[in-house]
């Protein structure tokens, strides 16, 4: 058994092994997690969590499945935060500065407090990618926001009510459809799939054992 420490889940004290993640500690304490668990590996953004260490005034944020518990940690999860997604058809919008102003005008009310960046569970420079979006620099916004997991913690801390993850998502979609160079070999592969050229290869893969699949993966050819 690991060393035992005290944590507080929603204000109630529990003694748990120090080796556990916050998510593991919640289950150890008897919580049945039926939502806010997602992939359980730290990249889906479903388990957004806020915590504070006793005696420390700073409120911190994290993902519960990838953060180890600490002694005297006060914990509360955010199972849902309303990230407002404005409706649009990607086929009918263009990468102009006006489209961002039309769909997410609140980004222009940013006060530069940097609370979004400080709160980001992925360590992204959120305020910077919002600045790129304000200027219509969607490729830069897409690059800066690429690792966003849509947990919504940044928006929960924003005094201007900005829906940062949806702004980044729109920038990435605009970049992928209109701004990024077209990938010729990808188009060719899609055409092959639609013609059914890959059916035989897929059936062959499906017939293999797990050990054979691992061997194929470990010895695959890397594209130059």
Q: Under CATH, what is the fold of the domain 4-77?
A: Ubiquitin-like (UB roll) (3.10.20)
Which pLDDT does position 158 carry in this prediction?
Answer: 94
Query: Largest Cα–Cα distance of the chain, in whole Å?
Result: 64
Q: Are 38 and 16 in contact (CB under 8 A)?
A: no
Which pLDDT does position 1 carry in this prediction?
Answer: 55
Strands 73-77 and 4-9: parallel
Which pLDDT does position 42 carry in this prediction?
Answer: 65
pLDDT in tens, the chain (224 residues): 569 999 999 999 999 999 999 999 999 999 998 888 888 876 788 999 999 999 999 999 999 999 999 999 999 988 777 788 999 999 999 999 899 999 999 999 999 999 999 999 999 999 999 999 999 999 999 999 999 999 999 999 999 999 999 999 999 999 999 999 888 888 899 999 999 999 999 999 999 999 999 999 999 887 76
Structure tokens at 138: 């969607």
Q: Are 75 and 49 in contact (CB under 8 A)?
A: yes
At what angle are helices 126-134 and 164-174 packed, to 10 degrees? 60
Q: Taking the domains of the chain in order of start, what are their residue ranges?
A: 4-77, 97-179, 194-218
């Amino acid at each position: 058994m690991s060393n035992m420490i005290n944590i507080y889940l929603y204000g109630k004290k529990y003694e748990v092994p120090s080796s556990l993640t916050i998510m593991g500690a919640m289950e150890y304490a008897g919580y049945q997690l039926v939502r806010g668990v997602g992939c359980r590996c730290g990249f889906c953004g479903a388990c957004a969590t806020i915590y504070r260490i006793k005696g420390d005034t700073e409120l911190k944020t994290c993902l519960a499945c990838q953060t180890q518990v600490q002694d005297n940690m006060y914990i509360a999860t955010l199972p849902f935060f309303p990230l407002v997604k404005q409706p649009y058809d990607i086929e009918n919008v263009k990468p102009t500065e006006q489209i961002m102003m039309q769909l997410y005008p609140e980004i222009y009310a940013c006060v530069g407090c940097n609370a979004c960046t400080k709160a980001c569970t992925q360590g992204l420079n959120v305020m910077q990618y919002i600045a790129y979006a304000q200027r219509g620099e969607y490729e830069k916004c897409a690059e800066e926001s690429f690792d966003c997991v849509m947990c919504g913690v940044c928006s929960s801390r924003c005094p201007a009510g900005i829906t940062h993850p949806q702004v980044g998502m729109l920038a990435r979609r605009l970049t992928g459809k209109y701004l990024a160079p077209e990938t010729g070999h990808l188009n060719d592969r899609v055409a092959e799939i639609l013609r059914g050229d890959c059916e035989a290869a897929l059936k062959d893969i499906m017939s293999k054992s797990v050990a054979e699949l691992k061997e194929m993966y470990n010895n695959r050819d890397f594209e130059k």
